[in-house]
Structure formats: C-alpha cells, structure tokens
Amino acid sequence: MSNAASRARYDVLTIGNAIVDVLAQTDEAFLVREGLAKGSMRLIEAQEAERLYEAMGPAQLVSGGSAGNTAAGIASLGGNAAFIGKVAEDDLGHFFRHDMNAVGIAFPTAALQEGAPTARCMILITPDSERTMNTYLGACQELTPADIDRDTVEGSAITYMEGYLWDPPKAKEAFRAAADMAHAAGRKVALTLSDSFCVDRFRGEFLELLRSGVVDIIFANNHEVAALYQTGDLETGIAALAEDAELAAVTLGAKGSLVLSGGERIAVPAPDVDELLDKTGAGDLFASGFLFGLARDMPLARCAELGSLAAGEIISHIGARPQHSLKALAEQHRLLGDMAA
C-alpha cells in the first residue's frame, strides 16, 4: 500500500447509504407489541417510518449509515476520508451533510432535488445492548454511476463500499463503476458484507465479486461468513474465505477478530470495554481502524488492533459515531507512532 498511499489525497473513500439514525432505548415488550424480531434489520416505507417514529420513545438523531460511520472513524483517527452517498435537499439531508463536513469528511455528492426524502433508520436499543433496525432508504436508492466522482476515487488509496448498495440496481452499477475507476488508478477496493440477510439475497454475486478480483479486501462477521458459504461450521467458512479473498478481516464478537492473508491467519483479541451500551456501528468502526492502518502501510496485526480499539470506543456509548478522539486513544495505547505520519 505504501506507494499508492503516498500519492493519495484520501486514505479511504467510503461509498454507501447516507442515513440519519434515529436512536431510542426501549424494552422487549415494545418489540413484541410491534412484531419486531430483535436484532434484525428490515426495510420499511415512508408511512411505516413515520408511524414507528411516533410510537417509539425519546430519540436521538445521529448521522449514520454503515459507510458514513466508517468514514467518521477514519477522520477521528486523523485520517483523510471522503464519502459518496445520496441525500435529499431537505432538513435531514442538510443535517447529514453538516455532520460529515464538521468532522472533515469530503462529501462531493450532489443532493437529490426532487423525489424521495433523505433516508432514516429507527434503531431500537434493548437493555441487552442489542439493536433492532427499521430502515427507510428514500433518497439512498437514487445513487447512480453519475454520482461517482472520478477524481475522488482516483485520489483515494482504498475505496470501501457496503453490501447494502447491492439492493438498488442503480447503486449496484455505481459500485462497479467505482471499482473499475479505482483499479484503473492502481488503488484497492474493499467491501463489507453488511449483514447475513444481505448475504442471503446476493450470495452468488458477492462470491463473484471476490473470485473475479472486483473486490480486493473483504470485511465480514462470523454470521456473514457462515451465510456466504452456507455452512453451520465457522471454520469451514473461514477456510473457504481464505481461498477466495486476497485479504479478509473477520470479526468474531467477544472472541476478537481474525485477519486472513496469503495463507496466514492473525488473531486479535476483542477490545476491553467497561460497559457495553450499544453494538450499533461496531463493525463499521472496526473497518475504519483497519482501513486507516492499511492505507498508512501498517502491519496487518496493527490494522486489526486499531479496528478493535475503534470498535471498543463505539460500543461504550449510544450511537455509531465516535464520541472521543480515536487518534488520542490510539496514541494512548501506542498504536500509531511514526507509522501514521
């Protein structure tokens, strides 16, 4: 990565759904009344989004979306991040853009002038810190190849995209266009599988992206790996992923993470957390730390350690954006040093 990174304007460009998170703490009884499966993510329409918002308790608004969260983590580490995603020209769209710009993330995508409003995700957090997500995609689905800014892609050491982009056809075309631009510029392309439900919908296409070399780096958790290879045995799935992926980072919950590269396996323990409050964004922030380290040419074990540190910070509070400087935390744990210069 060193030569590419030295010429890059951005460490990482993330491309994904631009979503405003609406977070509220709730109890099991509310989920039962609403007929919601705890820990799931479902797509909803605008009317259901409004109804659920009225029914849920006091809420906190935070700019979110998987790739947006990852960009925020990279910026918090002191990295140069960019984001491509579609918001509408409305209040939530302005809120999202302000949050991205306020932390130094480049956001070149023009707002949607007519049509669907900005996307939002109602996130219900139960006392066990599990989150149940209800997502209205709105303007997100209007991302097209025309929104992929070539200068930004070519100027980014790594272009990172979320699996959720594979749902809307136009966003899928945008994904492939960005990958082509990145590879033509000698850059790397990364993908997160997003969730096991997403994998179930697009298993064959995700495997094709890996095996054809469209994707160089893959991020997944243990459930997504099992879903990708349709196995109940995690070791079988990990072995298959090691064959298909040039580089993979697999998060294993309380067991930490595993990096797969060139036949090598690197295990990194889970972060130390005094109190686990909200798992929202843990995978997104692990990716931010890992990608930041990779763009700065750090050893793979250090990349995973930075990912673990970032994930640990995010699960210690409500919301999927860092509340403390990840750069300061990384320096405190001696994970940066001269390598991040």
pLDDT higher than 50, residue 4: no
pLDDT band at 152 (very low <50, low <70, confident <90, very high): very high
> Is the pLDDT score of 67 beyond 90?
yes
pLDDT (0 to 100) of residue 338: 55
Q: Is pLDDT at 340 greater than 60 in this prediction?
A: no
Q: In what order do the strands lie in the sheet with 41-43?
A: 41-43, 131-136, 119-125, 19-25, 60-64
Give me the pLDDT at residue 1, please: 55
Decide: helix, strand or coil at residue 223: helix
Query: How far apart, in whole angstroms, are the C-alpha atoms of residue 124 and residue 255?
Result: 25
Per-residue confidence (pLDDT) for residue 62, from 0 to 100: 85
- Output the pLDDT for position 299: 97
Residue 341 confidence (pLDDT) above 50? no
pLDDT reported for residue 3: 45
Q: How confident is the model at residue 132 (pLDDT cuts 50, 70, 90)?
A: very high
Is the pLDDT at 98 greater than 90, yes or no?
Answer: yes
Residue 135, pLDDT above cutoff 60: yes
**Looking at the whole model, is its pTM more than 0.75?**
yes
Q: What is the DSSP string of 275-332?
A: -----TTHHHHHHHHHHHHHHTT--HHHHHHHHHHHHHHHTTSSSSS-SS-HHHHHHH
In which band, very low, low, confident or very high, does the pLDDT at 321 lie, cut at 50, 70 and 90?
confident
Model confidence over 163-212: pLDDT tens digits?
Answer: 988 988 899 999 999 999 999 999 999 999 998 989 999 999 999 999 99
**Does pLDDT of 131 surpass 70?**
yes
Predicted local distance difference test score (pLDDT) of residue 281: 81
Domains of the chain: 2-18+64-114+139-340 (3.40.1190.20)
| Residue 97 · residue 107 · CB < 8 Å | yes
Mean pLDDT of the chain: 92
